[in-house]
């Protein structure tokens, strides 16, 4: 069951999807980007072009490498037709289990039996998503981190029915993308989200209780423990709404210690979602 990945389809053209498409095209894969929202995929391609332009300015890639990557990147208008040609599909849709299950059911019908179906979910159960698919053994989690081009880690999540050769192929993809990979089993929150959410929720409680300011809490973690970014600043980067959804899921699965603080709920209700809205724990 050797799996040779050459063509990649990314489904979802938001921040994560565009980042995944960028690194795939940079790595030499023929890459297509699809989104249900009209014009979203084209705007994502334009963001990739801008991002690669900045990489050229900073000496991280050459102008020729940028042009070659952009030639490999295309907008997909027909999801089923593009899925039929793909060797690897990476889903980067919103963190809604039912949406992902419906999408994987559709993709599994449209693809060849050997096509790998991957989800970029940061916390939802891979095994439950796979159960909706035809051929659940080819479903795997490929959890990228934001911003995808800069972050070195790729967390590979193996579902209960994921075939070992799919894990091997995913490792090879990660290496070609220039990522360091960790392989974890399908447990609530995997490794990274479980640890990251625990730290973030406690930092928000500390802010809520007036222990210290957001800046001081972040600086304490950055300087005291060597984290490149404090938990509140990182929550702004990821999105307060995204982190709230993950925390609520983990609270159901793992218990009260993951219960989201009221401060987080109030900020999300007020539309203070972090960097993407211009205000979260910091102003942008």
Percent of the chain as helix, strand, coil, to the nearest 5: 50, 15, 35
Q: Quick one: pLDDT band at residue 1, thresholds 50, 70, 90?
A: low
> What is the token pair recorded at 24?
């795939």
Measured CA to CA in angstroms, residue 170 lies from 47, 155, 163 at distances of 26, 10, 11
Q: Quick one: pLDDT band at residue 146, thresholds 50, 70, 90?
A: confident
Q: CATH topology of 7-185 equal to that of 192-276? A: no
Sheet holding 116-119, edge to edge: 73-75, 30-34, 7-11, 88-91, 116-119, 139-143, 153-158, 180-185
CA distance 113 to 123: 26
Domain at 192-276: CATH code: 1.10.1040.10
pTM of this structure: 0.89
Give the pLDDT score at 2.
Answer: 61
Give the mean model confidence (pLDDT) for residues 88-93.
97
Give the pLDDT score at 127.
Answer: 97
CATH architecture, domain 7-185 = 3-Layer(aba) Sandwich (3.40)
What is the distance of C-alpha 236 from the center of its chain? 15
- Digit-coded pLDDT (tens) for 25-47: 999 999 999 999 999 999 999 99
Please state the domain extents for the chain: 7-185, 192-276
Q: Quick one: pLDDT band at residue 195, thresholds 50, 70, 90?
A: very high
User: Taking all residues of the chain, what is their mean pLDDT, rounded to a whole number?
Assistant: 96
Q: What percent of the chain has pLDDT over 90?
A: 95
Lowest mean pLDDT among 152-161, 168-177, 188-197: 188-197
- Digit-coded pLDDT (tens) for 248-272: 999 999 999 999 999 999 999 999 9
- Digit-coded pLDDT (tens) for 166-184: 999 999 999 999 999 999 9
Residue 273: CB atoms within 10 A of its CB come to 21
């Amino acid at each position: 069951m050797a799996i040779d990945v050459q063509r990649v389809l990314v489904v979802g053209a938001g921040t994560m999807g565009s980042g995944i498409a960028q690194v795939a095209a940079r790595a030499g894969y023929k890459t297509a980007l699809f989104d249900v929202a009209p014009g979203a995929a084209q705007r994502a391609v334009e963001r990739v072009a801008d991002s690669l332009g900045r990489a050229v300015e900073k000496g991280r890639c050459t102008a020729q490498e940028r042009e070659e990557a952009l030639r490999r990147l295309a907008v997909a208008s027909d999801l089923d037709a593009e899925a039929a040609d793909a060797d690897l599909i990476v889903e980067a849709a919103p963190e809604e289990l039912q949406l992902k299950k419906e999408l994987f059911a559709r993709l599994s019908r449209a693809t060849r039996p050997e096509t790998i179906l991957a989800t970029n979910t940061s916390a939802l159960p891979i095994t439950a998503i796979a159960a909706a698919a035809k051929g659940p053994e080819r479903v795997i989690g490929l959890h990228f981190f934001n911003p995808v081009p800069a972050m070195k880690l790729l967390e590979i999540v193996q579902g209960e029915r994921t075939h070992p050769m799919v894990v091997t192929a995913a490792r090879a993809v990660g290496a070609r993308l220039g990522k360091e990979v960790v392989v974890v089993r399908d447990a609530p929150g995997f490794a990274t989200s479980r640890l990251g959410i625990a730290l973030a929720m406690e930092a928000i409680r500390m802010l809520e209780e007036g222990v210290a300011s957001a800046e001081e809490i972040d600086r304490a973690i950055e300087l005291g423990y060597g984290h490149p970014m404090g938990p509140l600043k990182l929550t702004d980067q990821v999105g307060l709404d995204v982190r709230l959804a993950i925390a609520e899921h983990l609270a159901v699965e793992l218990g009260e210690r993951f219960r989201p603080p009221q401060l987080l709920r109030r900020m999300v209700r007020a539309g203070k979602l972090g960097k993407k809205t211009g205000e979260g724990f910091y102003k942008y």
